[in-house]
Amino acid sequence: MSTVDIAQLNTRFSVAGQVQFVDGPGGLPVVQITNQYATATIALHGAQVTTYQPTGQEPVLFVSKQAMYQVGKAIRGGIPISFPWFAKEGVEQDKPMHGFARVRMWHVVQVTPGADTTTIELELRYDGDLPKLWSAPFELNLTVSVGRELRLDLTARNTSGQAVSITDALHTYFFVGDIAKVAIHGLDGTRYSDKLDGQEKIQEGPITIARRTDRIYHDTIATCVIEDTALKRRIVVAKEGSRSTVVWNPWVENARNLADMADDEYQQMVCVETTNAGFDSVYLPPGGTHTLTTIIHVEPLS
Ligand code: TA6
């Protein structure tokens, strides 16, 4: 059972037929959003969108059947938030992977129902042990808009007296019918760091996945399109405030080392992550703000 009072959340923020708070897996509080165009679920733990399903469509996001829902652990799937660092960039190796935002409880700021779009704003408070992990105070807000498209806006404000550099990600896990029948368009000709061999390379044509893949595409603002011939659909991933795109699939060799992912689940997922990673860090002067945005929608593969 979480320490969050579900009844109080519903009293303050629920909207009949559109927004309700429940105890989710592992007793973690989640908000369930339903409107005429889609449903979505967001865990307050990590402000992590775990499901997004347009009406009449297959789920758009992947969540592992073995995902763990516990305080301090990231949920394997959906859209984890990497903040204020991506992977372990620029921090000591004993710091948590992908920062701390995805393993902290967020608070609800406001809910805005609507006929076409339902929006919820969440905040991560700079308290508890965070100052020990990151000495520069900040404000961090996530706005999630659910409708014909799914839009996430992650806004960081540097409220410290000194400039800081951050790297960040909306680390989206997409559900696909068969990874062998997927092509990712939009990054042709783009330079990338291949994390498997440490080499810098140039993407030639669409990305296809036939083995473990872990790449940071640099200096790109491109919209990516995941073409899934098994599910006969395209997932369009647009972005703002992002200079890098990460493409990751653990393949079986890495999946078997992940306790929160079944060995064969690599076949039904691919991460196309809206990020600022590697060379593309974000400089925040005192009082400065930055917003990282991903906008996702699905089209039929005509
Ligand atoms: O975004 C790709 C990546 O950095 C991979 O190297 C892999 O570590 C993945 O993130 C998942 O990281 P996690 O800490 O969630 O297991």
Distance of CA 204 to the CA centre of its chain: 26
User: In the structure encoding, which two tokens stand for residue 185, read together?
Assistant: 């368009």
- pLDDT per residue over 159-193, tens digit each? 999 999 999 999 999 999 999 999 999 999 999 99
Which atom of ligand 1 is found nearest the CA of 80? 15
More confident position, 1 or 66: 66
Atom 10 of ligand 1, residue of closest alpha carbon: 87
CB contact at 8 A, 271 and 248 = yes
Q: How far is the CA of 253 from the centre of ligand 1 (A)?
A: 14
Among candidates 208, 204, 38, 229, which has minimal Cα distance to 118?
Answer: 38
Pairwise CA distance, residues 90 & 88, whole Å: 6
Burial 258-290 (b: 16+ CB within 10 A, else e): eebbeeebbbbbbbbbbbbbbebbbebeeeeeb
- pLDDT per residue over 74-104, tens digit each? 999 999 999 999 999 999 999 999 999 999 9
Pairwise CA distance, residues 293 & 220, whole Å: 14
pTM: predicted TM-score of the whole model, two decimal places: 0.97
Among 62, 86, 98, the mutation site with the greatest number of ligand 1 atoms within 8 A of its Cβ is 98
Which atom of ligand 1 is found nearest the CA of 254? 7
Q: Which residue has the tokens 């806004």?
A: 155
Pairwise CA distance, residues 105 & 100, whole Å: 10
45 as an active site residue: the answer is no
Q: Is 74 in the pocket of ligand 1 (CB under 6 A)?
A: yes
Among 97, 195, 256, 260, the mutation site with the greatest number of ligand 1 atoms within 8 A of its Cβ is 97
Among candidates 119, 131, 121, 130, which has minimal Cα distance to 154?
Answer: 121
149 as an active site residue: the answer is no
Pairwise CA distance, residues 257 & 270, whole Å: 17
What mean pLDDT value characterizes the chain? Answer: 97
Q: Is 246 in the pocket of ligand 1 (CB under 6 A)?
A: yes
Q: Is 87 in the pocket of ligand 1 (CB under 6 A)?
A: yes
**Which bin fits 186, alpha (ψ -120 to 50), beta or left (φ > 0)?**
left
- Please determine, for residue 1, whether its predicted confidence score (pLDDT) is greater than 60: no
Predicted pLDDT of residue 48: 98
Q: How many CA atoms lie within 13 A of 33 on its CB side?
A: 30
Distance of CA 178 to the CA centre of its chain: 21
* Percent with pLDDT over 70 in the chain: 99
Q: pLDDT band for 4, please (50, 70, 90 cuts).
A: confident
Catalytic residue among 121, 171, 227, 265: 171
Which atom of ligand 1 is found nearest the CA of 275? 1
Q: Which residues contact 129 (CB under 8 A, 6 or more apart)?
A: none
For residue 194, the 8-state DSSP code is E
Predicted pLDDT of residue 55: 97
Among 214, 217, 247, the mutation site with the greatest number of ligand 1 atoms within 8 A of its Cβ is 214
Atom 2 of ligand 1, residue of closest alpha carbon: 248
- Please determine, for residue 302, whether its predicted confidence score (pLDDT) is greater than 90: no
Among candidates 9, 65, 62, which has minimal Cα distance to 32?
Answer: 9
Among candidates 268, 184, 187, which has minimal Cα distance to 230?
Answer: 268
- Please determine, for residue 2, whether its predicted confidence score (pLDDT) is greater than 60: no
Q: How far is the CA of 250 from the centre of ligand 1 (A)?
A: 9
DSSP codes, 47-63: TEEEEEEETTS--SB-B
Predicted pLDDT of residue 3: 63
Which atom of ligand 1 is found nearest the CA of 76? 15
Mean pLDDT of 53-74: 96
Least confident span in 16-20, 245-249, 278-282:
278-282
CB neighbourhood size of 108 (10 A): 20
Q: pLDDT band for 128, please (50, 70, 90 cuts).
A: very high
- Please determine, for residue 287, whether its predicted confidence score (pLDDT) is greater than 50: yes
More confident position, 4 or 284: 284
Q: Which residues contact 13 (CB under 8 A, 6 or more apart)?
A: 19, 21, 31, 108, 110, 111, 120
